[in-house]
Amino acid sequence: DVPEPPCVTVMVGAVALRRGASTKYGIILRVDKGETVTILERSGSWYYVSYKGTTGWMMAQYVKAN
């Protein structure tokens, strides 16, 4: 389930935005604490998000609904 609203805030520093929904996938970039990402979908404990025009997967435990 995707929370409403679909924007969430990163709660810890330098969270990895990955190419897939697992730590085995490569890191596209890191998102700093306090930044906002938009959730596009969820797969288990991972969110597929958009951040400043880049999309990737982020662990749900590291974000909090706005």
What would the pLDDT profile of 14-63 be if each residue is shown by its tens digit? 999 999 999 999 999 999 999 999 999 999 999 999 999 999 999 999 99
Mean pLDDT of 6-21: 96
As a whole number of angstroms, the distance between CA 14 and CA 21 comes to 17
pTM here?
0.90
pLDDT level of residue 65 (50, 70, 90 thresholds): confident
Residue 66 is predicted with a pLDDT of 80
Residue 1: pLDDT over 70: no
As a whole number of angstroms, the distance between CA 26 and CA 16 comes to 9
CA 1 → CA 17, 39, 61, distances in Å? Answer: 19, 10, 14
In this structure, the dihedral spanned by the alpha carbons of residues 14, 4, 39 and 53, taken in order and rounded to 10 degrees, is -90
Q: Return the SS3 of 24.
A: coil
Selected residue with higher pLDDT from 5 and 13: 13
